[in-house]
Amino acid sequence: MNSQRVGRPIQILLVEDNPGDARLTLEALKDGKIQNRLYIVNSGMEAIAFLRRKGKYADAPNPDFILLDLNMPLMNGSQLLAEVKQDSALKHIPVAILTGSQAAEDIARAYNLHADCYVTKPIDLEEFIMAVKSIVDSLLNQREIADGGRVIG
């Protein structure tokens, strides 16, 4: 329903180093009938290049939100999150953490770094599809409220 509200497919940047998980998120979006355009990068460095339109990402769009895995080599999810939220050009982009970690420390750290949402990847497929759907719904609702109810595109 939200894809209709913004009037065009939602642009999502997925930062995920495991191709299996990336594909699963893609399938979950498809299954949840969410009109989307999913951009997948496999590291924090790539994500920063994408967001700042560096190098091969010169023509990259501004994503509506970022879906972020925490556990990645080199620049991990927390570091990327901190980087995004410190950058005045990027900090308005909602960031949802979608991770395997249920550790209280990880959840607390993510919210301290101003993550907009934290979801532990459910093991059950149906629950995973539901989780992805609810992240999309909740982030788009947040944006609507922030924009005084005006739908932005």
Partner 1 sequence: MDKRIANPEVMAGQIKKSEELFRILFYSSPIGTYIVQDGDFQLVNHRLARILGYEEDELIGRRSLGFVHPEDRNTVKGSAERMLKGDHSLGYEYRIVTKQAKVKWVMETVAPIFYQGRRATLGNLTDVTEHKRMEERLRQITAEMQRSNNELEQFAYVISHDLQEPLRMVSSYTQLLAKRYSNKLDADADEFIAYAVDGAKRMQVLLHDLLEYSRVGTRGKPFTWVDCKEVVEQTIANLKIAIEESGASVTYDTLPAVMGDEGQLVQLFQNLIGNAIKFHREEPPCVHISAQRKQNVVAFSAKDNGIGIDPQYRQVIFEIFRRLHTREEYPGTGMGLSICKKIVERHGGHIWVQSQLGQGSTFHFTIQVAEGKSA
Question: Rule CB under 8 A: which residues touch partner 1?
Answer: 18, 20-21, 24, 27, 100, 121, 123-126, 128
Could you tell me the smallest distance in angstroms from the CB atom of residue 72 to partner 1?
Answer: 13
Based on C-alpha coordinates, what's the Rg of the chain?
14
b vs e for 73-105, b when ≥16 Cβ sit within 10 Å of the residue's Cβ?
eebbbbbbbebbbeeeebeebbbbbbbebeeee
- CA 55 from chain centre, in angstroms, equals 22
The smaller minimum CB distance to partner 1, of residues 43 and 100, is found at 100
The smaller minimum CB distance to partner 1, of residues 127 and 147, is found at 127
Which amino acid is located at 144 in the chain?
A: E
Could you tell me the smallest distance in angstroms from the CB atom of residue 132 to partner 1?
Answer: 12
Could you tell me the smallest distance in angstroms from the CB atom of residue 71 to partner 1?
Answer: 8
